[in-house]
Amino acid sequence: MLPTVTAVRYVTPLREGGSLPGLVEADDLGTYVVKFRGAGQGPKALVAEVIVGELARRLGLPMPTLAVAAFAAELGRGEPDPEVQALLLASAGDNLGMDFLPGSFGFDPRAHRVDKELAARVLWLDAFVENVDRTWRNPNLLMWHNALWLIDHGASLYFHHNWPRADKAVLRPFKAEDHALSDYAAGLPAAAAELTPRITPALLDEVISLVPDGWLGDPAFATVEENRAAYRDHLLARAASPEAWLP
């Protein structure tokens, strides 16, 4: 399991992205960006955040700490915006917390230089997990203490929105033209040679096991364990054929 924290104060909504995450203070004195289960993207966005974020971390990519954030509906009482109120009410219980990086700001591909190897590894990750949400318009990368940090993997693993057809997506190519780090694609073969062999059944099982049961349970599966195994088998099969999907 991920560490669990309990929200003690809802501070403010963050409106840059589409899913209305909230800034929350928790009982460990930490401040978290919370992605809510009741958002329009649904719990699968949280599943993708956990699987991809924790995979990224284990592959050495810079990821803020993730936690399960328990949220009581009454914490949203003071929130004046009815849309946010409805979201908080629909999200009572377990949500996804990400350690808030204070003073961070959005990466700008035209202004910031990134280490070439790191950039290629991020591009490799996004191609592997089909993360279409790291474009130059919306990089979902932060600069913090002069270094690059990865956020927002909720749109990855697109195949999980249609399990009966997920097999057809195993070898789906990744289009890198709009990717925030596409200028660094020259490093992809080296990044792939380093990272693809690290995608093992054990690593995948480890990160998939971190997803709370309550966020799984797609009707295509009889049990949550079958659902977890389907993620592993899909990603393992994709890792076996990088030539099919690497840009």
Helix-helix angle 116-129:43-58, to 10 degrees: 140
Instruction: Map the footprint of Mg ion across residues 121-150, applying CB under 5 A.
Output: 140
Size of the site for Mg ion (CB under 5 A): 3
Among 14, 92, 171, 190, binds ligand ADP (CB under 6 A): 14
Tokens 């380093």 — which residue? Answer: 194
Burial of 212: CB neighbours in 10 Å, binned 0-12, 13-18, 19+: buried
**Residue with smaller CB distance to ligand ADP, 132 or 190:** 132
Confirm or reject binding of residue 62 to Mg ion (CB under 5 A).
no
CA distance 205 to 172: 22
**Residue with smaller CB distance to ligand ADP, 2 or 185:** 2
Could you tell me the CA-to-CA distances from 89 to 32, 46, 62, 73, 76 in Å, in that order? 18, 17, 32, 5, 7
* Amino acid occupying residue 226: E
Among 8, 11, 101, 229, binds ligand ADP (CB under 6 A): 101
Among 33, 47, 123, 180, binds ligand ADP (CB under 6 A): 33
Q: Are 119 and 184 in contact (CB under 8 A)?
A: yes
**Residue with smaller CB distance to ligand ADP, 87 or 185:** 87
Phi, psi values for residue 15, rounded to 5°: -105, 10
Query: In whole angstroms, how close is the CB of 99 to ligand ADP at the nearest point?
Result: 6
Among 2, 7, 10, 21, binds ligand ADP (CB under 6 A): 21
Confirm or reject binding of residue 71 to ligand ADP (CB under 6 A).
no
CA distance 171 to 245: 6
Query: In whole angstroms, how close is the CB of 12 to ligand ADP at the nearest point?
Result: 11
CA distance 192 to 161: 26
Cα dihedral sign, 61-67-73-79: negative
**Residue with smaller CB distance to ligand ADP, 68 or 151:** 151
DSSP symbol at 19: S
Query: In whole angstroms, how close is the CB of 151 to ligand ADP at the nearest point?
Result: 4
**Residue with smaller CB distance to ligand ADP, 18 or 247:** 18
Among 8, 13, 14, 17, binds Mg ion (CB under 5 A): 17
Confirm or reject binding of residue 42 to ligand ADP (CB under 6 A).
no
Confirm or reject binding of residue 177 to ligand ADP (CB under 6 A).
no
Could you tell me the CA-to-CA distances from 181 to 15, 99, 130, 196 in Å, in that order? 24, 24, 14, 19
* Amino acid occupying residue 75: L
Give the residues lining the site for ligand ADP (CB under 6 A): 14, 16-19, 21, 33, 64, 98-101, 104, 106, 140, 142, 151-152, 154
Give the residues lining the site for Mg ion (CB under 5 A): 17, 140, 152
